[in-house]
Amino acid sequence: MARTLSAQIEAILFTAGGPVSRKIIEKRLQVAKENIDDALNALKISLEGRGLALLEEGDMIELRSSPAVFDALQSFSTQEFQDEIGKASLETLAIILYAGSITKGDVEYIRGVNSQTALRTLLLRGLIERKEGLDKRKSEYQATTEALAHLGVSSSHALPHYEEFRNALIRVRDVQSKEPHTQKEEELWTT
């Protein structure tokens, strides 16, 4: 049981991507505190010598990269940030800059391709930020001041042909929102 519970907790922590309270895990898994403690100890032991570690601070627990792999991660992220962001990311950034605020679905509709990797790249570099809506599927992305500073403009209104491109994007979004979609397509546009 402890091994199965340990695997469940590992999956929860991985999916959460941040700290989770023990009480939430107890409540969601409907398991006693003692069983949670045993499962966490088993998880800690199974992670020894690996790239992940279990961090505990008070009631909060989190799955993070192990301190032993810090140098490898630092080298990886340094190299990733030195590389050019690429055409897909530049297209995505331009759409976001001219749109002002836009959902992932609208970016993908405009580009005609999946834009998850481009959005991730821009988020990691601090060039865009994600604003959570009430419905998480309707989160919107907007450019950061870092992106504007990187481009050497004080506002998106200072971008070349701002009004022309912004109005074109609004028209495309209006057309997209009026098109009939199957339920599956609707879910794709809103994730």
Supply 162's token pair: 């701002």
Q: How far is CA 82 from CA 60, 85, 149, in A?
A: 34, 9, 18
DSSP letter, residue 30: T
Q: pTM for the complete prediction? A: 0.52
> In terms of CATH architecture, what is 84-189?
Orthogonal Bundle (1.10)
For 20-67, write each residue's pLDDT tens digit. 899 999 999 999 999 999 999 999 999 988 888 888 888 899 888 877
Annotated domain spans of the chain:
2-67, 84-189
For 108-162, write each residue's pLDDT tens digit. 989 999 998 899 989 988 899 988 765 656 789 999 988 888 777 878 888 899 9
> Are the folds of 2-67 and 84-189 the same?
yes
| CA angle, residues 9, 15, 18, in degrees to nearest 5 | 90
Q: What burial letters (b/e) apply to 29-58, b meaning 16+ CB within 10 Å?
A: eebeeeebebbbebbeeebeeeebbbbeee
Q: Give me the amino acid identity at 88.
A: A
Topology given in CATH for the domain delimited by 2-67: Arc Repressor Mutant, subunit A (1.10.10)
